[in-house]
């Protein structure tokens, strides 16, 4: 047999070995995560938990992961985040919880679910903001013991939004007729097939105002600020972490490693703290390809349409 043929055979066997070993690692790590719900750095004793809130905050629970899934950082499901927070709170080794927030916010309902769970935590909770922690991403941060952001984090965006699509002119141009049978004049309020009139606007504005007042209240309560001072900045504007600190919405500036070091000192853990992470892709394929799994423009458009399905109230920073 030619030398080149042996080289191809050996390369083929090596490739197969790597794939088989990788698959076994993926299945093993997936089974470990499925049983414990956590991944930890090597070691024993006191630890700091990291719970991740990454992506748009939506109600419900994340789909069950498979051994070969690449992870999904585009949605933070409230029930999954709450489960992770409860696990961290019940773990005797965990001395404090860092919530890493990288989110534009999302559902008013889901943000409030997470907020209420954070209020119930019996261990210190510190927020570490990533590149974006706006609107609902800030809402869930408000009750924390400390809030950290990088100088370049985009945060604030304190406010409520609900957007409606209207296809009325498009439908008329192409001869599309929507037939609606309803029990009251507001039953189809916000329908894309009819005008959004002043009565509709007043109806929705009242709900927006109610949710906005609650947003202001929980910030004033969590940050020990006067509501008048909160409203001074709570006009929907987005701000940097440095600006947010000057406004009183952020305590300290730094990145996640800085927060870990600070929290370790806060709870008196000697040396480099052991970390127990929740909500981070841990399988073989997730680790190797999560950085390549950002949603495509088409997926982002679909996500935007899903957000506005039913026109829910949103604590959401709408990016340009």
Which tens digits make up the pLDDT trace of 176-199?
888 889 999 999 888 888 888 999
Give the per-residue pLDDT at 215: 98
Least confident of 22-26, 60-64, 303-307, 314-318: 22-26
Stated pTM of the model: 0.79
The verdict on residue 106 lying in a domain is: yes
Average pLDDT over residues 251-274: 96
**Is residue 182 domain-resident?**
no
Q: State the chain's mean pLDDT as an integer.
A: 83
E-assigned strands of the chain? 39-40, 47-54, 56-58, 75-77, 94-103, 105-107, 125-134, 146-149, 154-156, 238-240, 252-253, 274-278, 314-316
* Residues contacting 219, CB < 8 A, separation 6+: 138, 139, 142, 158, 225, 230, 234, 249
Residue 41 belongs to domain spanning: 37-158+237-316
Residue 8: pLDDT over 70: no
- DSSP-derived secondary structure for 97-159: EEEEEEE-EEEHHHHHHHHHHHHH-SS-EEEEEEEEEETHHHHTTTTSSEEEE-TT-EEE--S
In the residue annotation, 131 being an active-site residue is answered as: no
Number of domains in the chain: 1
The answer to whether residue 153 is domain-embedded is yes
| Residue 72 within any structural domain of the chain | yes
Residue from 69, 78, 111, 135 carrying the catalytic annotation: 135
Q: What is the pLDDT of residues 96-120, one digit of tens each?
A: 999 999 999 999 999 999 999 999 9
Q: Residue 258's pLDDT is what?
A: 98
Residue 43 belongs to domain with CATH number? 3.90.226.10
Among 182, 185, 187, 201, the active-site one is 187
Q: Is 119 a catalytic residue?
A: no
Contact 48, 274 (CB under 8 A): yes
Question: Per-residue pLDDT tens for 227-254?
Answer: 999 999 999 999 999 999 999 999 999 9
Look at residue 3 and tell me whether its pLDDT is greater than 60: no
């Amino acid at each position: 047999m030619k030398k080149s043929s042996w080289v191809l055979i050996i390369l083929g066997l090596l490739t197969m070995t790597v794939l088989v070993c990788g698959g076994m690692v993926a299945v093993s790590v997936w089974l470990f995560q499925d049983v414990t719900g956590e991944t930890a750095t090597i070691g024993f004793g006191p630890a700091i938990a990291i719970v991740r809130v990454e992506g748009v905050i939506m109600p419900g629970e994340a789909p069950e992961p498979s051994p070969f899934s690449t992870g999904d950082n585009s949605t933070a499901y409230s029930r999954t985040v709450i489960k992770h927070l409860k696990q961290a709170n019940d773990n005797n080794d965990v001395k404090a919880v860092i919530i890493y927030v990288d989110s534009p916010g999302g559902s008013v309902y889901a943000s409030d679910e997470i907020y209420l769970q954070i209020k119930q935590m019996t261990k210190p909770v510190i927020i570490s903001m990533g590149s974006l922690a706006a609107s609902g991403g800030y809402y869930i941060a408000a009750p924390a013991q400390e809030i950290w952001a990088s100088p370049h984090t985009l945060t604030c965006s304190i406010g409520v939004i609900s957007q409606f699509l209207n296809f009325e002119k498009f439908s008329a141009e192409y001869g599309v007729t929507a037939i609606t049978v309803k029990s009251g004049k507001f039953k189809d309020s916000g329908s894309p097939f009819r005008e959004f009139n002043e009565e509709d606007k007043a109806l929705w504005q009242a709900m927006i105002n109610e949710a906005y007042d609650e947003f202001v209240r929980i910030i004033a309560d969590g940050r020990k600020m006067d509501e008048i001072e909160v409203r001074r900045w709570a006009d929907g504007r987005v701000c940097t972490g440095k600006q947010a600190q000057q406004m009183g919405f952020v305590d300290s500036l730094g990145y996640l490693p800085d927060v870990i070091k600070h929290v370790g000192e806060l709870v008196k853990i000697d040396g480099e703290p052991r970390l127990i992470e929740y909500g981070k892709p841990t399988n073989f394929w997730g680790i190797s390809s999560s950085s390549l799994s950002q949603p495509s423009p088409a997926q982002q458009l679909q996500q935007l349409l899903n957000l506005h399905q039913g026109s829910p109230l949103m604590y959401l920073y709408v990016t340009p």
